Structure 1
Amino acid sequence: MAAKETLLSKDLQFEKKNKDLVKLPKYARVQKRPIPHPPVASPYAGSSIPKIVYVGTKTPFMSAAKRVQKLLRHAEKRATAGVDLGNHKISEKEKLARLAKGQEALKKEEVFIKATGRAIERALSVGKWFEEKEEEYAVSVKTGTVLVVDDIVEDEEAESKEMEKDGSTGENATRLTESKAATTTATAASEQPLKKRKRRAKAAAPADAELPESRTRWVNMVEIAITLK
């Protein structure tokens, strides 16, 4: 019997936004900044405040699942706070009306699981765990991208070595050019590495260009919304 295809078992589609980034010289490296998140809301906060569980690559699976369940339990308490079934002063009709209203409010209060980049797979595994309990939970998923900033860090020592190497390479290229008239075979042998160096120079940022302090890129993001049924 074929396994049932669920929402989270399908291949998710992400929009490709990143353009070709300028290749950095060997003496520079990219240092990723942590992605900023708004403060995590208290479980006791009202239904109008989004409840979010951020999942990283090292977030324990059950830890994330239990945090979602805890937030949903608090949502259930808020939704049923006005339903006093033991109050004999309220008619049965009014009790049923309040209960129905509470159920509708509960379906609207979502808990979100969010993750970016390599953590997406872990977030999907948590979402799939809830999706398999379809009698208790409703699950929906949305994909997107987040703009992040990376710092560009220069290594002064490596830069000096690179400049010395470039200077030495330039002198060698000059000697090869001067010996061009000596023999056609020697010329052919010297032109090939020179062309390779030119191609590499075009791909990289100019040696005398000032490197930016940072650069931006887009990172894939997934948002899984979970509600109680």
Structure 2
Amino acid sequence: MAKQPLTRDLQFEKKNQDMVKLPKYARIQKRPIPHPPIASPYAGSSTPKTVYISSSTPFMSAVKRVQKLLHQAEKRAMTSVHLSLGNKTKTDRQKLAQMAEGHDKLRKEAGQAEVFIKATGRAMEKAMRVGRWFEEREREYVTRVKTGSVLVVDDVVEDEEGRKRVVEEGERLKKEREEKQEGDDAEESAGSKSAAKKRKRAAAAETEELPETRTRWVNVVEIAVTYK
């Protein structure tokens, strides 16, 4: 993914090539974009914490989810420090040294605990708004944004009735063609040329096998938020 400031317009690498045009009797049915299971807020720092944004996600709800995940990370670090300081067998000097070490550890763990805000398509604008909310509170949070793309699979759905109509139209045009007396190619009318194109399309539709699926690249934005 490419790193970009939150204050600038997002830029993406164009990956989708010109796709084969589907016949009128076929349509694309989009599948939900798969993503890993959402991690528990109480999982360790080694488990990435992600908040997925959709176009229907309430703005402040997303903000609070990010804050909760960051708070849990800080709480885990503090618990670790308190447990180490609770050892009564150590001397006061050892406890003071351990306290200083514990505070360093707390700062390090809390600072490294990142929460990722991710969105694709039309939901990216809302994700950016959530990211800017944290960016505006720069005394408390640090943010960074990356852009990229993810390969998704869509289903190609065929309308049997539509295909039947296309085939019947092709057969009708073919029959009309056979009934006409072939004239000079130079005198062929524009209407006949149009009919010839329709026959070719109909013939192709009759013999061509539709793919069951089609792939495409979808733009994705990822915003990392952590305590300062």
TM range (shorter): 0.7 to 0.9
Residue 73 of structure 1, CA deviation = 0.5
Q: Is 1:140 the counterpart of 2:147 in the alignment?
A: no
Residue 100 of structure 1, CA deviation = 1.9
- 1-side partners of 2:178 and 2:60: how far apart? 65
Residue 158 of structure 1, CA deviation = 1.3
2:126 to 117, 122, 140: 122
Residue 60 of structure 1, CA deviation = 0.9
Change (3 A) 1:165 1:8: same
* Equivalent runs, 1:1-229 vs 2, <5 Å: 7-84=5-82, 89=92, 91-174=95-178, 178=181, 180-181=183-184, 184=187, 187-194=188-195, 197=198, 201=201, 206-229=205-228
Number of aligned residue pairs: 219
Change (3 A) 1:7 1:205: farther
- 2-side partners of 1:173 and 1:226: how far apart? 68
Residue 69 of structure 1, CA deviation = 0.5
Q: Which runs of 5+ in 1 are unaligned?
A: 1-5
- 1-side partners of 2:196 and 2:144: how far apart? 54
| 1:187-229 residue CA offsets vs partner (Å, 9 max, x unmatched) | 333245246548x849x96531111111111111111100011
3-state SS, counterpart of residue 138 of structure 1: strand
Q: Which runs of 5+ in 2 are unaligned?
A: none
3-state SS, counterpart of residue 152 of structure 2: strand
- 1-side partners of 2:150 and 2:135: how far apart? 25
Residue 105 of structure 1, CA deviation = 1.3
% identical equivalent positions: 53
Contact 1:139 1:227 in 2 (8 A): yes
3-state SS, counterpart of residue 180 of structure 1: coil
- 1-side partners of 2:80 and 2:172: how far apart? 81
Could you state the TM-score of these two structures normalised by the residue count of structure 2?
A: 0.85
Contact 1:146 1:218 in 2 (8 A): yes
Report the aligned-residue RMSD.
Answer: 2.8
3-state SS, counterpart of residue 80 of structure 1: helix
Contact 1:114 1:123 in 2 (8 A): yes
